[in-house]
A and B are shown apart, each in its own frame.
Chain A
Amino acid sequence: MLFNSIDFAVFLPIVFILYWFVFKTLRSQNVLLIVASYVFYAWWDWRFLGLIVASTLIDYCIGLAIDKEERKTSKKLLLTLSVSLNLGILGFFKYYNFFIDNFNEAFMLFGRVLDLNYLNIILPVGISFYTFQTMSYSIDIYREKIKPTTNLIAFASFVCFFPQLVAGPIERASSFLPQVQKRRIFDYSKATDGLKQILWGLFKKMVIADNCAVFVNDIFENYGTYSGSTLVFGAFLFTIQIYCDFSGYSDIAIGVSRLFGFNLKKNFAFPYFSRNIAEFWRRWHISLTTWFKDYFYIPIGGSRGSKWIQLRNTFAIFLVIGLWHGAHWKFVVYGFINALHFVPYIIRGKNTKYTTLIANNRYLPNAKEFFGMFHTFLFLVFARIFFRADSLTIAIDYLNTIFSSSLFTLPRFPNMSEALVLLILIASFFIVEWFGRDKEHALEQLFSKSKRLYRVAFYYAIVVLIFYFNGEEQQFIYFQF
């Protein structure tokens, strides 16, 4: 079920009413959340529910066993089993054909024909998210950071909680399980703030991202027929699209969770207001980057040791993050060029330079901050060509066309007037985000001190814009990961 569908608009109030008015005990509310989450998931494809159930049972049992076991080697063995099973499921569904393809190619290089068969595998929605969530549970128990829960219903609710099941934020048991196991009390301000965040998420997705998609799809599919300047425009719009699509999803997920009394991790902290690439990655898809930091980067040494070790580890984490996005070399290259951009900052020790809010207590950034933001954004526009193009070859072709003489012509494509309207919407969107950059989400405090009439009029205006510009229901980009 998509958040931006009519189905969800019917589903959400039904679950909300049942949750607060019918199922009033903690246990029954958690059971309702599991049932609702399974229905939510089955709306896409019921056949893959078994995988979620399997992943839940595996880590529930292994978590208890790790805690019970006293010998370190047995604990380690159990953890290896959990990680292997989770990565095994993920690897089979997500990377099987990728590896077969590369094995076949590699053997061809040595003059041997291996000819391993491909499988017609459907990638289950959300698999990269919930397997990471269950895996971190077992790892945290092994590291004795948390105690396992004996309550299977609570654990299942943690794994399948519908707002974040298919595209995150990737939650940690340490912060989410206590919320599942504690009675929730309805909080008016939390719920209204949740609604505001949902509204903003829908605006980002349906008005900005889906309308960018129309141009992006056309330009990337027919890149051979467009000028270099038009291709830059396409890449620019994709950079906006992917942010509004994914952070829009996260906003809706967090907002919906707040309606049910839960707090989810912040997943995006206005990343396009970052002054360098390091700051960007601290603000982009936070739940994933912190996951890799805690369970991959730090265990391999993190930023301890020499510059060379730091560089090695930085490249390692970015290559893995790239590959997490999909079984394709283009994602590996995307990770690699991000890591490459990190190099000067690590060498100069400036990768942790910006940890405070940009233009703090000021309306506008200073020249240095502005240049930093512009430079980071421009880098992302070009890097994301690898992310969006259908293949590595197409990405390189796309870049070749950009750097031709046609780069210095005016962009031209059908529906120029619609593009102009879209640019105005994007500019307005960034203004709202800029003034809310120190908050949890852009609408949190906007008009909070104004008269109720103005506030309500503003919300109605957003609703009208959503209805006015919404197109065909577009799947969220991160569903494919």
Chain B
Amino acid sequence: MKKFITQTIAFLVPLLIIVAVLEATIRHIPNDYRFKNTQIQLDKESIKTIILGSSHSMYGFNPDYFSDKAYNLGHVSQTIDLDYYLLKKYIEELPQLETVVLRLSYTTLHEQIETGLESWRLKDYNLYYDLHISNKLKYKSEVLSVKLKNNVARIKDYYLDNTNMITVENTGWASFDEPHANKSIDVLGPIAAKRHTADDDALVIENINHLENIVKLCNEKGIALLLITLPAHQSYVAHLDQYQLELVISSGEKMKSKYDNCIYLNLLEDPNFNDADFYDADHPNANGAKKLSILVDDLISKPLN
């Protein structure tokens, strides 16, 4: 037994040392999550609007076009449970906060990051936003949550190629490098719609609770909440499941009628947005983001209702 234990430990120790070194090396690499957390702290005394949501929000709302100081806290694949935890954290830290803009997308009620393919991103919220969302050990570590292959690529990009690892502006907004994706939007629409259509309603009740908690939290603090279903390309809208879509829209309407601080805006098929405003079937490009941000700013500058 002694021999077995000694040999096993001797085999594992070099591995553990390598893992620890890698972990420290990777954590040193700048990333959007730590960047946004730092930036928002710098401007916390003046921020009046925060924007929450997934890539739809991250690419869709450009704070530069907001009259008052706004910050975009959206991230790729950020689901409504994470929106709620982020809001809970920052609502106490932003004394001037007046408005929260939250995307209510086709997928919002049917997904949570922990149950999806992007669950590895949970470590970013644990490590860089200090949110303590998951107790799973793997989400407390870069090395344990991401393929070594991807981590090696990150190390190479940052340490050897001096690549800028921050993909967002100082305001938290991100734009695509190209105005359009490689494939035609007409081709991408049905694929994205299929990918976004859920198999079941398992998470709906829990997500509606998260949504309502967000509305209530804003209500308690006297903060206005704008729920918004972003515009999408016709090729995407035409392939959405009507039941899932209706559930999202009716939830937005319900929150609006139930809470004074909440308004709901459904821009899914807004005719003001055309092919030139989309990067792909469900993400606005820089042009679309400008239009959308001006529209939202116009709306939140007026008194609610």
Chain A residues with CB under 8 Å of chain B are 5-7, 10, 20, 186, 188, 191-192, 195, 221-222, 225, 456, 459-460, 463-464, 467-473
Distance (whole angstroms) from the CB of A411 to the closest CB of chain B = 19
Residues of A within 8 A of B8 (CB): 195
**With an 8 A cutoff between CB atoms, is B1 at the interface?**
yes
Distance (whole angstroms) from the CB of B185 to the closest CB of chain A = 16
- Helix, strand, loop or mixed for chain A's interface? helix
Contact check, B119 vs A472: say whether CB atoms are below 8 A apart: yes
Contact check, B4 vs A188: say whether CB atoms are below 8 A apart: yes
**With an 8 A cutoff between CB atoms, is B191 at the interface?**
yes
B118 nearest in chain A by CB position: A472
Contact check, B148 vs A464: say whether CB atoms are below 8 A apart: yes
Also in contact, A467 and B148, with CB within 8 A (given A472-B119, A472-B120)? yes
A456 nearest in chain B by CB position: B11
Residues of A within 8 A of B144 (CB): 6
Residues of A within 8 A of B247 (CB): none
Contact check, B1 vs A469: say whether CB atoms are below 8 A apart: no
**With an 8 A cutoff between CB atoms, is B147 at the interface?**
yes
Contact check, A20 vs B147: say whether CB atoms are below 8 A apart: no
Contact check, B3 vs A188: say whether CB atoms are below 8 A apart: yes
Q: List 30 A-B contacts (CB under 8 A).
A: A5-B138, A6-B136, A6-B137, A6-B138, A6-B144, A7-B137, A10-B137, A20-B1, A186-B1, A186-B4, A188-B1, A188-B4, A191-B4, A192-B7, A195-B8, A221-B194, A225-B191, A456-B11, A459-B11, A460-B15, A467-B143, A467-B147, A467-B148, A468-B147, A468-B148, A470-B147, A470-B148, A471-B147, A472-B117, A472-B119
Interface string of B141-152 (1 = CB under 8 A from A): 001100111001
A473 nearest in chain B by CB position: B138
Residues of B within 8 A of A468 (CB): 147-149, 152
**How distant is the Cα of A188 from the Cα of B11 in the complex, in angstroms?**
16
Residues of A within 8 A of B3 (CB): 188
List B residues 1-22 near A (Cβ within 8 Å).
1, 3-4, 7-8, 11, 15
Give the residue of A6, A20, A460, A469 whose beta carbon is less than 8 angstroms from that of B149. A469
B2 nearest in chain A by CB position: A188
Interface size band for B: 20 to 34
Also in contact, A469 and B138, with CB within 8 A (given A188-B3, A192-B4)? no
Distance (whole angstroms) from the CB of B203 to the closest CB of chain A = 14
Residues of B within 8 A of A473 (CB): 138
Residues of A within 8 A of B152 (CB): 468
Interface string of B19-60 (1 = CB under 8 A from A): 000000000000000000000000000000000000000000
Chain B residues with CB under 8 Å of chain A are 1, 3-4, 7-8, 11, 15, 117, 119-120, 136-138, 143-144, 147-149, 152, 191, 194
B117 nearest in chain A by CB position: A472
Contact check, B136 vs A7: say whether CB atoms are below 8 A apart: yes
Residues of A within 8 A of B136 (CB): 6-7
> What are the 8 tightest A-B residue pairs by CB atom distance, in nearest-first order?
A467-B148, A468-B148, A6-B138, A6-B137, A186-B1, A468-B149, A191-B4, A188-B4
Contact check, B147 vs A469: say whether CB atoms are below 8 A apart: yes
**How distant is the Cα of A470 from the Cα of B152 in the complex, in angstroms?**
13
**How distant is the Cα of A472 from the Cα of B8 in the complex, in angstroms?**
26
Most buried by A among B4, B7, B149: B4
**How distant is the Cα of A404 from the Cα of B8 in the complex, in angstroms?**
54
Beyond A7-B137, A222-B194, list 17 extra A-B contacts (CB 8 Å): A5-B138, A6-B136, A6-B137, A6-B144, A188-B3, A191-B4, A192-B4, A195-B8, A225-B191, A459-B11, A460-B15, A468-B148, A468-B149, A469-B147, A469-B148, A472-B120, A473-B138
Residues of A within 8 A of B1 (CB): 20, 186, 188
Residues of A within 8 A of B7 (CB): 192
**How distant is the Cα of A460 from the Cα of B10 in the complex, in angstroms?**
12
Residues of A within 8 A of B137 (CB): 6-7, 10
**How distant is the Cα of A473 from the Cα of B119 in the complex, in angstroms?**
10
Distance (whole angstroms) from the CB of B257 to the closest CB of chain A = 30
**How distant is the Cα of A464 from the Cα of B143 in the complex, in angstroms?**
12
Distance (whole angstroms) from the CB of A21 to the closest CB of chain B = 9
Contact check, A463 vs B147: say whether CB atoms are below 8 A apart: no
A470 nearest in chain B by CB position: B147
Distance (whole angstroms) from the CB of A465 to the closest CB of chain B = 9
Residues of B within 8 A of A195 (CB): 8
Residues of B within 8 A of A20 (CB): 1
Residues of B within 8 A of A471 (CB): 147
Most buried by A among B137, B143, B194: B137
**How distant is the Cα of A191 from the Cα of B7 in the complex, in angstroms?**
12
**How distant is the Cα of A239 from the Cα of B213 in the complex, in angstroms?**
46
Residues of B within 8 A of A186 (CB): 1, 4
A189 nearest in chain B by CB position: B4
Residues of B within 8 A of A467 (CB): 143, 147-148
Residues of A within 8 A of B191 (CB): 222, 225
Residues of B within 8 A of A472 (CB): 117, 119-120
Distance (whole angstroms) from the CB of A247 to the closest CB of chain B = 23
**How distant is the Cα of A190 from the Cα of B144 in the complex, in angstroms?**
29
Residues of B within 8 A of A10 (CB): 137
A195 nearest in chain B by CB position: B8
Residues of A within 8 A of B148 (CB): 464, 467-470
